[in-house]
Amino acid sequence: MNAAVLALLNLCIGSVAAFGVAIPSDPVADHPPLAILTMSNTSRVEPLSLDALVQAALLDAARVTGRPRADLRVLDAAAVDWPDGSAGCPEPGVLYTQAVVPGYRIRIQAGDAVLNYHATRHSQAPVLCPAKRAQPALPPRGGIT
C-alpha cells in the first residue's frame, strides 16, 4: 500500500474509534479491518407512547397559543398510517420516502383553532403541522370502502 492509502486508512480508523467502535491492534496486518469491527454501544432510544406524544402536543399547543393547558381539548389522538415519509405534513421542495409510515395524528382544539400534530412511531416529539400542509392519513386497513 502506498503512503496516501495508509494515511487515509489511519484517518478513517481513528474516526471510527472516536465513535466507540472497537478496532484491531494492527488494522493493516489483520485483513480486512472493517470486517472485524464491533459496536461497543448498542443503546437505542425507545419511541414515545401515544399518551406521551399527546402530553407533549398539549404542552406545545399551550406554548404556541399562549392559552393555559386546561383550556385545551384533545379532539382525537390515534395511530394512523401516513402515505409517505412526510408523516402527512410535507414541506414544499422536500422529497420523502414513498413508503407507508406508521405514526400518530393528534388534533387539539385551542379556542376556535384546531392544531394538527403529526408523528411517526419512532418520533421523539410530535410536530405541529400547519393546516394548509396537513394531509389525511391513509384509511384504516380492513375497513369498508
pLDDT per position as a tens digit, 104-122: 999 999 999 999 999 999 9
Residue 65 lies inside a defined structural domain of this protein: yes
Instruction: Please indicate, yes or no, whether residues 122 and 83 belong to a single structural domain of this protein.
Output: yes
Measured from the Cβ of residue 83, the count of other Cβ atoms closer than 10 Å reads: 17
**In terms of domains, do 11 and 57 share one?**
no
Secondary structure (DSSP) of 55-74: HHHHHHHHHHH---GGGEEE
pLDDT (tens digit, 9 = 90+) per residue, 85-105?
A: 999 999 999 999 999 999 999
Provide Rg for the chain, Cα atoms: 23
Q: Which of 139, 133, 138 is nearest to 90 (CA)?
A: 133
Mean of all residue pLDDT scores within the chain: 79
Residue 76 shares a structural domain with residue 96: yes
What domain range includes position 113? 50-129
Strand partners, 39: 21
Same-domain check for residues 54 and 125:
yes
Q: Name the pLDDT band for 140 (thresholds 50, 70, 90).
A: confident
pLDDT at 58: 98
**Lookup: cell for 1:** 500500500
Lowest-confidence range among 40-49, 88-97, 136-145?
Answer: 40-49
